[in-house]
Amino acid sequence: MSSFTPKLPQTVAESLKLKKPEPSVLVKARTHEAKAEKLRQQEDEATREKLGPKDPRDRDKPPPKDALQAPKPHLEYLERWKVLEAAMGPVTEKATKEYEAKLSETPKPHQVLGHLIAKLPRPRLDLLMQDPRVPALNVLFGHRPLQKVIADNELLQDLGVTWATFVDAKRDLKFQLGLNAYRSAQAIALYLTVIRAAVDPKVRKTHNFVTDVEVLDVAKELLREVTTHLIAELQGAHDSFFAVGDRKAVGEQFRVDKAKRSGRAVPDQNAPKGQPTIKAPQGPKPTAGARKV
Distance CA 37, CA 34 (A): 5
Amino acid at 197: A
Structural domains of the chain, count: 1
> Taking the alpha carbons of 40, 205, 152, 118 in that order, is the dihedral positive or negative?
negative
* 89 falls within a domain: yes
Higher pLDDT, 4 or 261: 261
C-beta of residue 154 within 8 angstroms of C-beta of residue 104: no
pLDDT band at 67 (very low <50, low <70, confident <90, very high): low
Phi, psi of 55 (to 5 degrees): -75, 130
Whether 114 is in a domain gets the answer yes
* DSSP code of residue 154: H
Considering the domain boundaries, does residue 264 fall inside one?
no
Task: Report the pLDDT value the prediction gives residue 263, as an integer from 0 to 100.
Answer: 73
Q: Tell me the pLDDT tens digit for each residue of 202-260.
A: 888 888 888 888 888 899 999 999 999 888 888 887 777 666 566 677 777 777 887 77
- State how far the Cα of 116 lies from the Cα of 234, in Å rounded to an integer: 12
* Confidence band, pLDDT 50/70/90 cuts, at residue 280: very low
pLDDT at position 123: 87
Q: Read off the pLDDT of each residue in 63-88 and give the average, rounded to a whole number.
A: 78
Write out the residue range of the structural domain in which residue 100 sits. 25-48+69-241
**Mapped to the 3 state alphabet, what secondary structure does 45-93 carry?**
HHHHHHHCCCCHHHCCCCCCCCCCCCCCHHHHHHHHHHHHHHHHCCCHH
Do the domain assignments include residue 162? yes
Higher-confidence residue of 171 and 52: namely 171
* Cα dihedral across residues 25, 26, 28, 32: positive or negative: positive
The verdict on residue 291 lying in a domain is no
Torsion angle of alpha carbons 121, 124, 125, 126, nearest 10°? 120
Q: What is the pTM of this model?
A: 0.70
Cα dihedral 143→146→147→150 (10° resolution): 180
- Answer whether residue 137 shows pLDDT above 70: yes
